[in-house]
Amino acid sequence: MELVSRAVGPIATNVHLLGDPRTREAIAIDTAIPSLVFVSDELAARGWTLKLIVSTHGHWDHIGDNAALAAHSGAPIAAHPLDRGRLEQPDRGMAPFEIPPSIPAVELAEGGVVRFGEIRLDVLHTPGHTEGSVCLLAADDGLLFAGDTLFAGGWGRVDLPGGSAEAMAESLARLSRFEDRLRVFPGHGPSTTIGRERAWLDLVVAEGRLFA
């Protein structure tokens, strides 16, 4: 797998572009505003064909260029059914610009698989930040695309609409069961590994809740 990432927008959302080097097929994850030019330029430079636009959840800072990129590339949009409404009727929140609505054509559900070329990503439903938050696990490559569930040194907010501290604690406990070497690419901030987050993840597991 080849991976190209860039932080974009007013709160530095990590946009990920994944490609299969043999088939030249690719997917984009969390296409925030402004990522259309970045994604389209990278696709053209590498001769990649975009097969899917994935939203790990439906907050404004992860979905803003979904519609524009779908129109430009012809690729469908994928999201968990519980966050579908957030894409179709986006909440602008603190965004300094309008967030165009987008229509998911592909459902990301627990146990599902995203395939492009020879790449396989397992869909993990990890609610807590929103009801329909998901992570994508590339087990063969040892990579986890965690959206706003797991960050370096913490977790996504649970005080926004759709958030749940209890659900987040359960989702983090689930992620803690992966091997230490698993590399994590979150929705914001630097990449990390499960091993680097092990100490506080184990505390969440031991206490059965988030901590201050």
What would the pLDDT profile of 5-45 be if each residue is shown by its tens digit?
A: 999 999 999 999 999 999 999 999 999 999 999 999 999 99
At 77, the pLDDT band (50, 70, 90 cuts) reads very high
- pLDDT above 70 covers what percent of the chain? 100
* Global pTM value: 0.97
At 211, the pLDDT band (50, 70, 90 cuts) reads confident
- What is the DSSP annotation of 89-120? S---TT-SS--------EE--TT-EEEETTEE
pLDDT of residue 204: 97
What would the pLDDT profile of 88-109 be if each residue is shown by its tens digit?
A: 999 998 999 999 999 999 999 9
What would the pLDDT profile of 130-154 be if each residue is shown by its tens digit?
A: 999 999 999 999 999 999 999 999 9
* Residue-wise burial string across 85-120, b where 16 or more C-beta atoms lie within 10 A, e elsewhere: bbbeebeeeebeeebeebebeeebeeebebebbebe
Q: Which domains does the chain have, with CATH numbers?
A: 2-207 (3.60.15.10)
